[in-house]
Amino acid sequence: MEDARLLPEPHRYAICAPEGMPIKEFYNGIFEEVFVFFHPFIKAKTNDFDLFNPDTDKSRNEIQKNCEKISWKQFLTLSGIDSYKQLDIGLRTSISGLRKEYQDVNVAELIHKTCRENLISAPSEGSFPETTMNDLLKAIKIIGHEWIWLGDEFCTERKLMYIDDLIHDDNLLGQGKNLFTHDNGMLITTHWDSHFSLLCSDKKSLEQLVNSSELEGFYCNEKTKIYWSLSSVS
């Protein structure tokens, strides 16, 4: 009888932190800081809501060109939702991403109503946000990187990519969940059931990337987990 094949432990510099432990604890000794950046809501610049219809088959760069970002802060004002935590719970509820006792159906319905009335599309979960990534990749180039690894969820498959190709191609980014630099000093990773991604690196690099890319979110503290919105601390 053939022995069971067990995968080796994945490289922590190349994957998303698991749900059951603090994010910074998982990356301890690998990355100094972690920034949670929200996937923006988006609105067509021409009020052409059909742009978000899957049947129209719009490309990532077409969405980038023809849409504007609506920040979570702006959406709180539009919707009357009280906090980022409530908004995150509502988004998770809308995709059936929480157990029943943690769901907030009222907030999920308010998100849907606000999007419908303002011709806004809610952010996608589990994939890199279309309207954010080009600016972030360009900022990574400015720091001095020309190449970056693109890997699947557990990085059992990865491919070294020229950053300009990722910026200009409409489909390559959608093939992965993790982007990490060749020196293993920086990681962009997205959780499969969340409407945000993680940016991990040293403090100086993160501050530069967050500011130049105008990322919205927050820095993890020692207790922050993937399901941060369910906790009394971030």
How confident is the model at residue 67, as a pLDDT? 86
Residues 189 and 234: their CA atoms lie apart, in Å, by 19
Q: Do 56 and 21 have their domain in common?
A: no
Predicted confidence (pLDDT) at residue 117 exceeds the cutoff of 60: yes
How many domains does the chain fold into?
A: 2
Q: Do 94 and 117 have their domain in common?
A: yes
Q: Do 205 and 98 have their domain in common?
A: no
Residues 61 and 112: their CA atoms lie apart, in Å, by 25
Domain span at residue 47 reads: 41-121
In a domain, 3, yes or no: no
Q: Do 217 and 137 have their domain in common?
A: yes
How confident is the model at residue 45, as a pLDDT? 83
Predicted confidence (pLDDT) at residue 187 exceeds the cutoff of 80: yes
Q: Do 182 and 135 have their domain in common?
A: yes
In a domain, 141, yes or no: yes
* Helix (H) or strand (E) run with residue 161 in it: strand 158-162
Q: Do 22 and 47 have their domain in common?
A: no
HSE-CB at 24 with a 13 A cutoff on CA atoms is 15
Predicted confidence (pLDDT) at residue 232 exceeds the cutoff of 70: no
Angle at alpha carbon of residue 222, lines to 33 and 71, rounded to 5°: 60
pLDDT band at 56 (very low <50, low <70, confident <90, very high): low
Cβ contact 61:84 at 8 Å: no
Cβ contact 228:91 at 8 Å: no
In a domain, 114, yes or no: yes
In a domain, 5, yes or no: no
- Percent of residues, the chain, with pLDDT higher than 90: 80
Q: Do 34 and 144 have their domain in common?
A: yes
Q: Do 68 and 181 have their domain in common?
A: no
Q: Output the pTM of the full model.
A: 0.91
Q: Do 137 and 220 have their domain in common?
A: yes
| Complete edge-to-edge strand list for the sheet that includes strand 33-38 | 158-162, 147-151, 178-181, 187-190, 196-201, 33-38, 217-219
Q: Do 193 and 105 have their domain in common?
A: no
In a domain, 2, yes or no: no
Average pLDDT, the chain: 92
| Alpha carbon separation from 88 to 11, 15, 83, 100, 228 (Å, rounded) | 28, 22, 9, 15, 9
Q: Do 115 and 205 have their domain in common?
A: no
Task: For residue range 81-101, list pLDDT tens digits in order.
Answer: 999 999 999 999 999 999 999
Report residue 26 as tokens: 């998982």
